[in-house]
């Protein structure tokens, strides 16, 4: 396929005010480098932690880090769709998004290098069939379908799987686990800093998913919204299964009740669902103009 024209040669250049471009600019402003994290205090804290707490944090890190690697592998088909559709602002942000997922994979690898040097931690995934189903089957399949099917419904299935369930429910639950444990025990400050950096990045990722689904709903109406709800109903039991299996394995004194984790993640999710539901009554231009804060984006490094 030959290219018809480049944006820079036309009067219809980048629109700086569109939601994805505002995410892109913010991502540049809030850049961080995993290679600059000083882990010396964390290594000492890790060695001094009770065995139960170490096992829980190791499991959480393996599951979270493996999820970051999975989404690093699987995002590119969605990028290809937006490229083929000529959505330059969305393409530019998604390229940054993919870079950040690679950066998160690096960050969790650096943590595991001292938590479990040279060890195979596949047991945590083997004991969590719902996790395996989401990350080994549902996520890659929903993304790879986009290589041959670029319909709005297929895009919504992919975005719902990735941004709403993987990042919007599972990752939010994991954040809460890390912050509750590390702040409560006053240990591993650099790991906590890293998690806050990842949270900040992924607030933009989840917001982009909310935006993308909202744009498709505003543009294509009820069939798009029904596709969103259908995918949620398919994946919600699996997401709860991931959390239940984690708590079955992790028994440590620093853990709060499972319901608190789930309630935290679901409260965040309900806010995004409300935005998408509202898009049924919005124009595409109104979706482009949505505010960063109303979409839950963390806009500063503090």
301 belongs to a structural domain: no
- Residue 74: alpha-carbon gap to chain centroid: 12
Give the per-residue pLDDT at 223.
97
Quote the CA–CA distance of 213 and 248 in Å, as a whole number. Answer: 34
Q: Are 175 and 199 in contact (CB under 8 A)?
A: yes
Give exposure, 232-263, as e/b (b: 16+ Cβ within 10 Å).
beebeebbebbbebbbeebebebbeebeebbe
19 belongs to a structural domain: no
Give the per-residue pLDDT at 10.
63
134 belongs to a structural domain: yes
Q: Are 102 and 76 in contact (CB under 8 A)?
A: no
235 belongs to a structural domain: yes
Q: Give me the CATH number covering residue 185.
A: 1.10.620.20
Tokens of 218: 């505003």
Number of structural domains, the chain?
Answer: 1
CA-to-CA dists, residue 117 to 41, 51, 120, 147, 182, angstroms: 17, 16, 9, 37, 21
Give the per-residue pLDDT at 118.
87
150 belongs to a structural domain: yes
What domain range includes position 247? 30-291
Q: How many CB atoms lie within 10 A of CB 36?
A: 6
Give the per-residue pLDDT at 74.
95
212 belongs to a structural domain: yes
pLDDT in tens, the chain (302 residues): 566 667 676 657 788 899 999 999 999 999 999 999 999 999 999 999 999 899 999 999 999 999 999 999 999 999 999 999 999 999 999 999 999 999 999 999 999 999 999 889 999 999 999 999 999 999 999 999 999 999 999 999 999 999 999 998 898 888 888 998 999 999 999 999 999 999 999 999 999 999 999 999 999 999 999 999 999 999 999 998 998 888 777 655 445 566 777 777 778 778 889 999 999 999 999 999 999 998 989 998 87
Q: What is the dihedral of CA 131, 132, 138, 143, to 10 degrees?
A: 100
* For the chain, the helix, strand and coil percentages under 3-state DSSP, each to the nearest 5: 80, 0, 20
Give the per-residue pLDDT at 257.
66
User: pTM of the full predicted structure?
Assistant: 0.93
């Amino acid at each position: 396929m030959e290219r018809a024209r480049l944006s820079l040669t036309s009067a219809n250049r980048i629109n700086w005010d569109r939601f994805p471009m505002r995410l892109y600019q913010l991502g540049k402003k809030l850049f961080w480098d995993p290679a600059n994290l000083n882990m010396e205090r964390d290594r000492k804290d890790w060695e001094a932690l009770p065995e139960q707490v170490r096992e829980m944090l190791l499991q959480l890190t393996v599951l979270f880090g493996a999820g970051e690697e999975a989404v690093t592998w699987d995002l590119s088909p969605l990028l290809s769709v937006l490229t083929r559709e000529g959505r330059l602002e969305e393409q530019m942000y998604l390229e940054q998004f993919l870079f950040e997922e690679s950066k998160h994979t690096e960050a969790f690898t650096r943590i595991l290098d001292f938590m479990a040097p040279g060890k195979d931690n596949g047991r945590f995934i083997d004991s969590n069939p719902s996790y395996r189903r989401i990350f080994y089957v549902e996520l890659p399949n929903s993304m790879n379908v986009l290589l041959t099917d670029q319909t709005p419904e297929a895009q919504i299935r992919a975005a719902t799987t990735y941004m709403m369930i993987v990042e919007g429910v599972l990752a939010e639950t994991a954040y809460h686990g890390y912050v509750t444990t590390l702040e409560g025990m006053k240990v591993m400050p650099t790991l906590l800093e890293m998690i806050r950096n990842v949270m900040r990045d992924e607030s933009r990722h989840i917001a982009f998913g909310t935006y993308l689904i909202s744009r498709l709903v505003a543009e294509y109406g009820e069939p798009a919204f029904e596709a969103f709800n259908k995918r949620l109903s398919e994946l919600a039991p699996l997401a709860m299964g991931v959390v239940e299996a984690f708590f079955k394995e992790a028994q440590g004194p620093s853990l709060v009740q499972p319901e608190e984790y789930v309630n935290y993640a679901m409260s965040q999710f309900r806010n995004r669902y409300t935005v998408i539901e509202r898009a049924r009554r919005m124009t595409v231009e109104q979706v482009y103009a949505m505010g960063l804060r109303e979409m839950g984006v963390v806009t500063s490094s503090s």
